[in-house]
Amino acid sequence: MANYFSIFLVVLTVASGLIWLADALLWAPKRKEKLAIARANTSNAIDDETLKQIAPIPSIVDTAQQIFPVIAFVLVLRSFLYEPFQIPSGSMMPTLLVGDFILVEKFTYGLKDPVARKQFYDVGKPERGDVVVFKYPEDPMIDYIKRVVGLPGDRVVYRNKRVYIQEACPEGDVCPLKPIDLKFENNNEFAFHFSRLNKFTESFGEHSHQILQNPDRPAMEMAYYDQPGTAINEWLVPEGQYFVLGDNRDNSRDSRFWGFVPEENLVGKAVAIWISFEFEREEDSWLPGFVPTGVRFSRVGGIQ
């Protein structure tokens, strides 16, 4: 849906711009000539209303002149700078909650054209710990949001609900497999199907964020199964691709299931929550489900 909207913006911007250009080159000079003749014949004693009737601006031209600057601004802003997204699921809890509306920085990982999404200017690469929005590899029409855990060349191991990483090393060197630092925080904030979720602080060097684990789910329940009875819990990240996980580790469909995120699928980096709505309501409430029941102002701010 987001890609369709981008195409619509491009078409509307180009169409209104061409109409404005055609008017400036072809029709505006003729209107100007008619107005000059009218002023000369009346010794310039003619009011504005009469001038508008003598050389009226076609409605399609008037509309194009009004909407082109606005549409062009929105296109540039949305395609190359920032784009708003809504969080539809709990896979990134506790970092992001259902009802959070976030801003995604589009230029962080390179500038891409808004239609074919081909990169034409390289700016930077994802870093470990970044929260990224990307086109779902199995259906590029769907946008996903997860956290980057494995970089190209890394060996990622998910064992007993803990992440281990063997970073890519210079040729000839051997880098050790290291566990990602994990610190227990509490288990009284979040619940899922009557299970109290454990909250941890996970640290990638200087970068820290929080994750959730369900203690009532087996450690390998979320692992990808290549063949019946064969669990895969380690992956070697190919060049130009990334391994991503949801922060709600036992309730996230991520790289453990469908593999890696190609660099060309990256949309941008999630940098801030600009508004957050609450949708919880009583079962007998007459309000439609899409109507917010409150605003969580405390959640507005940057994303870790």
Distance from chain centroid for Cα 50: 51
> What is d(CA 151, CA 204) in angstroms, rounded to the nearest whole number?
12
Residue 67 tokens read as 């909407």
Between the ranges 201-205, 210-214, 221-225, where is the mean pLDDT highest?
210-214
Determine the average pLDDT of the residues in 70-74.
89
User: 121-160 pLDDT, tens per residue?
Assistant: 888 999 999 999 999 999 998 999 999 999 999 999 999 8
Whether the CB-CB separation of 101 and 270 falls below 8 Å is answered with no
Q: Per-residue confidence at 2, pLDDT binned at 50, 70, 90?
A: low
Q: Which residues contact 267 (CB under 8 A, 6 or more apart)?
A: 83, 104, 106, 132, 133, 134, 135, 143
Query: Phi first, then psi: what are they for 274, rounded to 5°?
Result: -95, -20
> What is d(CA 188, CA 178) in angstroms, rounded to the nearest whole number?
29
pLDDT greater than 80 at residue 227: no
pLDDT greater than 70 at residue 4: yes
Between the ranges 77-81, 137-141, 245-249, 289-293, where is the mean pLDDT highest?
245-249
Higher pLDDT, 51 or 82: 82
> What is d(CA 164, CA 171) in angstroms, rounded to the nearest whole number?
21
Active site residues: 91, 146
pTM of the model: 0.83
Between the ranges 101-110, 188-197, 228-237, where is the mean pLDDT highest?
101-110
Strand 224-227 relative to strand 207-213: parallel, antiparallel, unpaired?
Answer: unpaired
Buried b (16+ CB within 10 A) or exposed e, 41-68: eeeeeeeeeebeeebeeeeebeebeebb
Whether the CB-CB separation of 210 and 200 falls below 8 Å is answered with yes
User: 173-200 pLDDT, tens per residue?
Assistant: 778 899 999 999 999 899 888 889 999 9
User: 259-300 pLDDT, tens per residue?
Assistant: 999 999 999 999 999 999 887 777 767 767 667 778 899 999
Q: What is the DSSP string of 63-83?
A: HHHHHHHHHHHHHHIIIIIEE
- The helix (H) or strand (E) run that includes residue 31 is helix 28-41
Residue 196 tokens read as 């109290």
Q: What is the DSSP letter of 57?
A: P
pLDDT greater than 90 at residue 95: yes
What superfamily in CATH does domain 87-302 come from?
Umud Fragment, subunit A (2.10.109.10)
Q: Is the CA virtual torsion 82, 88, 91, 95 positive or negative?
A: positive
pLDDT value at residue 55? 75
pLDDT value at residue 303? 92
pLDDT value at residue 230? 52
Determine the average pLDDT of the residues in 71-75.
89
Q: Three-state SS for 211?
A: strand
pLDDT greater than 60 at residue 1: no
Strand-pairing partners, residue 241, are: 262
Q: Tell the burial category of 145 from Cβ atoms under 10 Å away from its Cβ (0-12, 13-18, 19+).
A: buried
pLDDT value at residue 115? 79
pLDDT greater than 70 at residue 223: no
pLDDT value at residue 21? 92
Q: What is the DSSP string of 67-135?
A: HHHHHHHHHHIIIIIEEEEE--SSTTTTTS-TTEEEEEESSTT-EE-TTT--EEE------TT-EEEEE
Strand-pairing partners, residue 134, are: 144, 266
pLDDT value at residue 220? 56
pLDDT value at residue 49? 73
Q: Per-residue confidence at 225, pLDDT binned at 50, 70, 90?
A: very low
pLDDT value at residue 222? 46
